[in-house]
Each structure stands twice: as C-alpha cells, then as structure tokens.
Amino acid sequence: MGSTTDHAFNVYRGTFIQLSRLPASGSKPELCRDKGALWVSTADGRIKGWDWKAHDDNGFEDLMTRSRWVDLDDVEATDVKFHSAKTKVKVIRADEERNEFFFPGFIDTHIHAPQYPNAGLFGSSTLLDWLETYTFPVESGFGAQPDPKAGLQTQTKPNDTPISGQNIYNQVIARTLSHGTTCASYFATIHIPATNALAALCHARGQRAFIGRVCMDNPKFCPKYYRDLSPDDSVAATRETIKFVHELDPSGQLVRPIVTPRFAPTCSEAALQGLGKLAAEFDPPLHIQTHISENRNEVDLVKELFPEADSYTGVYEKHNLLTPRTILAHAVHLTPEERKLVRARDSKISHCPASNSALGSGICPVRTFIDEGITVGLGTDVSGGYSPSILEAARQACLVSRLLGHTAQWKEDHPCVDKKDEGREKISVAESLYLATRGGAAVVDMAQDIGGFDMEMLWDVQLIQLGGVKGTEQGPLGSVCNGVKDNVNAGPVGNVDLFGTETWEEKIEKWVWSGDDRNVKAVWVGGRLVHTRG
Amino acid sequence: MGSTTDHAFNVYRGTFIQLSRLPASGSKPELCRDKGALWVSTADGRIKGWDWKAHDDNGFEDLMTRSRWVDLDDVEATDVKFHSAKTKVKVIRADEERNEFFFPGFIDTHIHAPQYPNAGLFGSSTLLDWLETYTFPVESGFGAQPDPKAGLQTQTKPNDTPISGQNIYNQVIARTLSHGTTCASYFATIHIPATNALAALCHARGQRAFIGRVCMDNPKFCPKYYRDLSPDDSVAATRETIKFVHELDPSGQLVRPIVTPRFAPTCSEAALQGLGKLAAEFDPPLHIQTHISENRNEVDLVKELFPEADSYTGVYEKHNLLTPRTILAHAVHLTPEERKLVRARDSKISHCPASNSALGSGICPVRTFIDEGITVGLGTDVSGGYSPSILEAARQACLVSRLLGHTAQWKEDHPCVDKKDEGREKISVAESLYLATRGGAAVVDMAQDIGGFDMEMLWDVQLIQLGGVKGTEQGPLGSVCNGVKDNVNAGPVGNVDLFGTETWEEKIEKWVWSGDDRNVKAVWVGGRLVHTRG
C-alpha cells in the first residue's frame, strides 16, 4: 500500500488456513492448514515468503536470526545501535490457545450498497414487484431526480450526495468489513455524486472495491422518478464516474470502476451497446457487471422486451457485454445453450443463494456450472439478500445445494442418477469457502492477487477467533442455582462453541455453520489494518 | 414461581409485541403492538393485568396511584411508614429510545440436547448415515454402555452422568436461553442418569422443559454399543426418568417428562406398544415425542421394517402413540392420508427447516398443514439443525417456504395454481413468529399458558433490543481517514441496523432476518429472570 512505516515487513505468526488452488478443473477444493510465519512487505502489501519450520519459538528465532530481522516491539532505545545492521519487522500473532487463525478475506462479487437500509425488508415479494416496491424508492434517495430539461447530470462531486446516503454507504462498508469482506463489487445508484462518494469512502476506509454506477434508461420498465434520461446519458454519466475513480486511484490499486447495466429489462438496446463499447475502450477492458436469469417472470419479460434475441444471455452477447471480466449475478434459470455461451466467453457467475431463497427466485445449479468449467463466486446481493455477510452466503450455498435435488428443474435435467453421483450437487463447507475466496477472486479477475496465501498475493486477510466452552471440572450439577450467570457470558466469542474434541477441519465446519462477525477479530486489505472487532 | 420476594408484582413498562390469537382457523397471524404497563404476580409468575393508557409518565403515575402501588426503587427508608398502606412493586422498563420491546419467549418443540457438540458437523451426509456417523457416537458418551448381564440400567442419579455430558447439557441450556428459548422439548439419550441430569439442570437454571429419555431397542437398526437391552428396558428405564422428574417438580410447573420413542426404525413393536401404554397410564396422559417422515430413505426403511403397516403414521397409530399431546418432528414427506390421520388424532407437528435443509431431507409443506387445520410449531433439531436459535428456525421457515414452489413434490401436488393462490405457500415473518411462539405453545399443549401476553399467562418473555445506526450530521466524507474506527464498534448491538426510517413492523422484519442472541437483552421464565446478555 506504500504507506509510510518504520519497518520492512509485517510477520504474521500462527495458523494459516486457506483453500488450495485447484490442481485441475473438476477436482474438489480442499482446506489446507499451515503453521509458522509468513511475511508481508509494508511497501506493497504483498506476501514475500513464509517459513513453516517457524511453527514454534525455536523455529521462529531461527527465522529471525537467519533473516537478520529484529522485532519492533523488542527494540529498546539503547538497542538501536546494536540492531542497526538489522531489518525491523512487526510481529502479529494468531493465538492458538484462543482458536485463532488467519484466513483469506471474503470477496463479495455482488452487492447493492444503497439498498442496505432495506436489508430484511421484502415481505413475500418476488423480483419484479420487489424492485418497484422496495428498491427503486430507496435508491432514488441518493441524489436529485434527473431533470429532463437539464440534459445530462451536471453534479459530480461526492459531497453533493445527501448526508443520509453518505451515512448508509459508510455503514455498509463498515459492516461488510466487519464480516471479513476485503473486496466487494458494488452496484451504486444512477447518481454520479453518490457513485463517486461510494468510491471515495471505500478508498478512505481501505476496502478493495469495484464501483458501478447503475445504468437504467428504459422507460418501458424504469420508473419515471428514477432512470437515466437517455442511452447517451447512461454512457456519459458512467464515463464521469469512471473518470472520477481513475483520478482517485490511478493505478487501480484499491478501487476500480465497473460498467454496470442494471439488467436487460432496464436498458435500451442503444444503452447496452454504448456500455459494451465503453468497457472495451479501456486497456485492459473495464470490468462489467449485471444481473441474469434470476427469476422466471424476469426471463419471460426479457423475451417480451427483446423478441429478436435468442435468449437472455444472447441479449448481453449481442452488445459485447459478455467478456472474461463480466460478472453475471444469479444465473438461476440459464438454459444449457446459455451456459455454453457463458463458458465460451469466460464470463463469471455470482451465486447469491440468500437472495435467491428470500425472493423465491429458485436454486442456482452451482455444481452444473462448476462441472462445465464456469467460474463461480459468492454474492450477498444486499438487499435481495438480507445479510451483508459472505459467511452467511457460504452457509446458504451449502443449504440450498442440499435442496437442489428436490427441485422439479433438477429432476427434469437429471432423470436418471447413477448411485455414485447421488448427492454430487451438494456444496461442501470447503467448497463454499473456496467460492467465497479463490472463486470470488477469479470472478473479479484477480485470481493471481487475492483469495489465498500464494507468493506475491496481496495481504487481504481476516483473523478469525473461535470460542471455547469452559466446562467446570466438577460438573455444573449442584453448583448451578442461578440461571443468570452462565458459561456463555463468561466464555466464547460469538456462537461457535468448541468443546475441545473437534479436529481442525471440524472447527472450520462449525465456523461456517455458526459463525458471525464476532469471530472476525481483525481485517487487513493490501496489508493495511482496516477493521478490528470492537 | 412462588419465590420469596418483598413485592407483589413486577410491572413491565414499554412496548409489548406479540402475535394475536388466531380468530379462526385459516386466518393469517398478525403482529400486534401495545404500549403501556403490564403486571405479573411474583407469587405465581402469571400476568394479572395491563393498562395501555399508562404509555406515558402521566398515565403510568395514574396507574400507580389508582392501584396504590409504590415503586420499590423509590422507597427510601424514611418513607416506609408513609407507604405502609401501599403495595410494593418492581418496575422493569423496555427503553423505547434503544428500540427495546417485550416479546413472548420462543418455544423449541424439537431439540436433541446431547447432540449440541455436533452442531455444524454433518459433512454432506443424510439422515441415516448421519445418525450412524455423528449422532450415535456422541450420544453414547452420556453414560455407561448397557451391560446385557446387568439387565435393566441400575444407575439413576444425575451425578452418575459423565462430567463432559453435564457440561454439554449446561451449555445447551445456557445457549438456548441466550437465544430467547423459554421452553424446549428435549430428547436426551438412553441413559437414565443423564436424562435426569438434564431435567435437574433445566430445573435449576429455570428453563421450562419437557425431558425425554430416548427409547431405541431395535437391534436391526440400533448399534450394539448404544441401545436399550429390550422392549421392557425401554419402558422401565423411561419409567425411572418419569419418576425422577415427577419428584423433582411434582406439579410440573417447570419441567415435565415426555415419552420418547426415537423413531419407528429404532423401536421394536413391543417397545412402541409399551410406550404408548405408559403415556396413557397418567392423568392427564404424558406428552409423547418422536420423528416422522423426515427423509425418503427413512420412509422406505419404515416400509421394510413394518411391512404390515399402512404407512409411517400408521405405525404410531397402531401403538397409541398419536395423541393430542404427541409432537411429530419433521413430517416432510407425509401423504395426504397420513396428514388426515394426524389431524384426526390432533397430533402436533414440529417443523425443523434448518435441519431439513442441512441434511437435504426436503421442504415440509407447512402451508398445507396449516390449511388442513394441523397445529405446527418450530424446532431447531440440534444437531440435524446447526443452530440452537429459534429465531434462525423462523428465518429458515420463511426461506424454505419461498423455495417450496420449486420442488417437484409441490408441483405434482398443485398442477394448476389459481393466480390468487400464487405464493400462498410462503410463510411471512409474522407467521414464522407465530409458529415460534403461539404455534409452539399449542404444540406442547400449553396454548393457554405461554406464547403471548394474555391474561393469566405465564411471564415467559424475552426483552429484545435492536441497534440504531449513528450517522454523522455532516456526513462521513472527509472525516473518514482511518477504517479501524467505525460506526459498528461505536453503535449497535448485533447486526440489525435501524436507520430511523422503519415502521415498527419493519423493525420486526429486520430483527427476524438479521437478529441474533445479541438482541436478546433479558429472558424470564414464569416470572423468573433466567438470562441477561453479558
């Protein structure tokens, strides 16, 4: 991150758990665990090496001596001279006794920042009525209503965003960081100032982010009070936000723009075409994100609005919006031909199970995507999804995959199942965490940079702590006479109860099934500490 | 609870939210809210009255004066004489400013206490292999292995339970209380001492509970290392635990026994018959709990093991185990005829959605049950369910009901759906909370005593607190330069973020979708304070 420090490396000591890189497509992700020390350059926030022999004090001292390192916290004033030939490092420990370990930060490949105040509000609505009832009203509050007389939006400064909107963005960043999300691909609103404000806030708080101004100009679907004035406006306003983000972070080290047609029904063909062109103008081409085939009524609507297109996916294909840097959210009801096209273009899928269940959209056949070689990551889809936590998304990915075999669609697609393939559709805990880390990294086209502990990867990491149950040696019978005082108050952080009988893999399973933000003790992005548990 | 106090009433002030009693079957549950004061006798822990005019200070003072009450905390030593003609009361407030309100305690109609250490551990298993791999091993650790030479179990004292088992039971009670569960229907293990220990701990800690010694004697299915020695042993050992619980709590004020054949495949016909008879011996007859039709392989197994039975439900019917006090857990795959029989016997259903998803069992058609007049409540089913929280069960009930329409079974059962009936199967937030409170109360046959704020109901209640987001008046832009300090640390409890724009019904929706034990500030059972947030 290039921040000024008085030391060359941060040296992380303790247990490191990650998902291994898949050796071949079709192979199953596995959790792997290493103990020892790993060091990150303070100059660029990247991993420069590790030593798994440094798993105990002797091994660690060997490493320090060999490397001619000296621990900042051990350097006393009088020692400066003595240590002058040595390199200063800062040591950060994960405490084994407290079930602490380092884990790659989560990547949220699909989240609508302005919808956060609506998290948990959707009644029994489904996609299209939900947009109208809940979503467009809240998003429209992030800026002035477009004035047809004024033509293009003229305000661009983040500070022109209503304070209420700024506070919401600030909160959604704080919350996602607190849940361990080190990188998020955000949909903002149609407003230039608010989109720029979201970029500025992510940049200031240190969250890695893709920032998308939402494009929606089709009067057939978009409400009058909340839409782009024209296809040209969609493109020009997006261009404004791209300019702002590029000026804010010229090398795209932390924050980058992403071209964001909301979804086919909200966009005119001219706008879609203009946005495809816009993304391709840059070198490398800009990222693109949109929604696809979330809900059956929506699929029908696309057929109606784009009668000449072969399919929903075909609409995006036609306008050059299917690229290797395109994130397609949901993809619940794609046909085999559409999946083939997605694969051919190497576009990516954001699986948003919490949202798909909450809005009754259906169950995305993740196993099918993976088997066909399509890259998948997880999205919270706040506020179609009720939670800003990717851990919750991972849990929901596991859950819905266990219901997938009961759906009519799956049964239709798999009329005969070999005994050996029974249950193959289920996503394991390890696989869900793969989707949350390495999978998400590949979805945002950063598989070389984030999602694991590989050499030269950025230190986008969370420090996890799990709770241990403090049993009494003589047993609680007899000693319990007042229910008010209990183990829970005295002991664990959060809801993960470890009884000391678990293997390390089981500890991870318990974390995924019962963990929450209380288990996230610290979060770093690009080596910078951006969140600590309060 | 008849505990000794120096005051006659606890007077609760603030907002009270509950589900209204259903005026007629088929009507939809609604949330209702009252503000004012409600009082509970310290002698019996029951609600003796309320005054919704006492919603402000003037109204409250009127109530105090009119009732000739004096607030304990206002009584100073010198005032004793002055107040001697008055009745002392203790005032407990829910703070409106902090989004606090009183809500009926949750009722967990199906939970396996000894399985708690396994919460979150099941890999990708389904019911039958999960029992063998995870469940029987952990349960068998709660006592000595049955010794065929010894005949019946001879140990009965709670203290004969291994300390590890006592600690687990203590923790599961602490955890369920912390999640607002004021009443639970527990499966224990086959061991008499451990079953009695669970009863003793619930009694000591003040959780309302039904305690069931698990009966499983069928060598065809049960492992040798963990089963009753004979049908007689099943009945005699259960009788021992009933005796213990009746001696512990003679009037059944807090803790009661429940006859618990694990499920048909684990029980011989002789055991089932003996247990049906045992329950009927008492006046009123004892409660009964078991599992039914959770998983398709299990349904097939029952057909195989009981070739003469008409159906799975028929097995229980034959042995007089279907009574109005019978709790049938799961009921995912019942046939229409079986549902009719359940309805005719007025047996109750415990819906355990988290478990049914986690084990891939399927989706219980709750709407169908309700439409047919069958009583339904919620169960966590720890550890088929990964969470001891009924709030999580309510959330999952909403989620799976939104996927139900996608299942092959539902489509088969509803080939044509009227436009007006589209989405009828969805469980609303209000309905899920009804199932969690009044529904659960009816399932344990205590609809007159718990589940709401009716006159003479027991004060089994949780005090809920939701978090408010503290926005800055000048906006966060510019003032944010350090991501480490944030709103989240400074402000809310838990993950429910209120922005001040929500209606009270929306606050409840947010609670259900994002709440957890952090939002449970205090819990009372029968008027006794049994948990406060640490």
pLDDT at A5: 72
pLDDT at A154: 75
- pLDDT bin (cut points 50, 70, 90) of residue A483 is very low
Mean pLDDT over each residue of chain A, to the nearest integer: 93
Which of A118, A124, A472 is the mutation pick for testing B, counting most B CBs within 10 A? A124
pLDDT at B89: 97
pLDDT at A329: 98
pLDDT in tens, B380-395: 999 999 999 999 999 9
A365 and chain B in contact, CB less than 8 A: no
CB nearest to B499's CB, from A117, A126, A499: A117
Pairing of strands A9-19, A31-41: antiparallel
- pLDDT bin (cut points 50, 70, 90) of residue B4 is low
pLDDT at A80: 58
pLDDT at B189: 98
pLDDT at A82: 62
Asked if residue B1 has pLDDT above 60, the reply is no
CA distance B214 to A439: 44
pLDDT in tens, B473-500: 788 886 654 443 444 333 578 999 999 9
Cβ–Cβ under 8 Å, residues A238 and A287 = no
A471 and chain B in contact, CB less than 8 A: yes
pLDDT in tens, B310-319: 999 999 999 9
Which of A403, A431, A466 is the mutation pick for testing B, counting most B CBs within 10 A? A403
- Rounded average pLDDT over A111-118: 98
CA distance A168 to A185: 16
pLDDT > 90 fraction of chain B, expressed in percent and rounded = 85
Asked if residue A33 has pLDDT above 80, the reply is yes
pLDDT in tens, B65-79: 999 999 998 876 456
Mean pLDDT over each residue of chain B, to the nearest integer: 93
Asked if residue B50 has pLDDT above 70, the reply is yes
- Rounded average pLDDT over A230-234: 96
- pLDDT bin (cut points 50, 70, 90) of residue A22 is confident
For residue A85, with 0-12 CB atoms within 10 Å meaning exposed, 13-18 middle and 19 or more buried, which class applies? exposed
CA distance B10 to A227: 56
pLDDT at A341: 98
**B204 contact residues in A (CB cutoff 8 A):** 477, 480-481, 483
The region of weakest confidence among A122-126, A338-342, B59-63 is A122-126
pLDDT in tens, A403-459: 999 999 999 999 998 888 899 999 999 999 999 999 999 999 999 999 999 999 999
pLDDT at B123: 84
Asked if residue A30 has pLDDT above 90, the reply is yes
CA distance B151 to B206: 35
pLDDT in tens, B508-522: 999 999 999 999 999
Enter the ipTM.
0.96
Tokens 């009070």 belong to which residue? A225
Rg of chain A, C-alpha, whole Å: 24
pLDDT at A327: 98
The region of weakest confidence among A79-93, A167-181, B233-247 is A79-93
pLDDT at A484: 36
3-state secondary structure of B405: helix
Identify how many contiguous H helices and E strands chain A contains and give both numbers. Answer: 19, 20
pLDDT at A450: 98
Cβ–Cβ under 8 Å, residues B354 and B393 = yes
pLDDT > 70 fraction of chain A, expressed in percent and rounded = 94
Q: Which residues contact B224 (CB under 8 A, 6 or more apart)?
A: none
**B380 contact residues in A (CB cutoff 8 A):** none
Asked if residue B468 has pLDDT above 90, the reply is no
Cα within 13 Å of Cα(A260), Cβ side: 28
3-state secondary structure of B107: strand
pLDDT in tens, A42-94: 999 999 999 999 999 999 999 999 999 999 988 764 565 666 678 999 999 99
**A486 contact residues in B (CB cutoff 8 A):** 170, 174, 177-178, 205, 531
Residue B382 phi/psi, 5° resolution? -50, 130
Q: Tokens in use for B18?
A: 């509950």
- Rounded average pLDDT over A262-290: 98
pLDDT in tens, B278-304: 999 999 999 999 999 999 999 999 999
**A478 contact residues in B (CB cutoff 8 A):** 159
pLDDT at B76: 64
pTM to 2 decimal places: 0.96
Chain B, 181 to 200: residues with Cβ < 8 Å from chain A are 197, 200
pLDDT at B104: 98
Is the previous residue joined to B357 through a cis bond, with omega within 30 degrees of 0?
no
The shortest C-alpha distance from A484 to chain B (Å) reads 5
Q: Tokens in use for A416?
A: 């005969």
Asked if residue B137 has pLDDT above 70, the reply is yes
- pLDDT bin (cut points 50, 70, 90) of residue A479 is low
Domains delineated in chain A: 1-105+458-534 (2.30.40.10), 106-443 (3.20.20.140)
Cα within 13 Å of Cα(A58), Cβ side: 0
A517 and chain B in contact, CB less than 8 A: yes
CA B162: distance to chain centroid?
Answer: 26
Helices B390-403 and A390-403 cross at an angle (nearest 10°) of 50
CA distance A188 to B490: 26
Asked if residue B365 has pLDDT above 90, the reply is yes
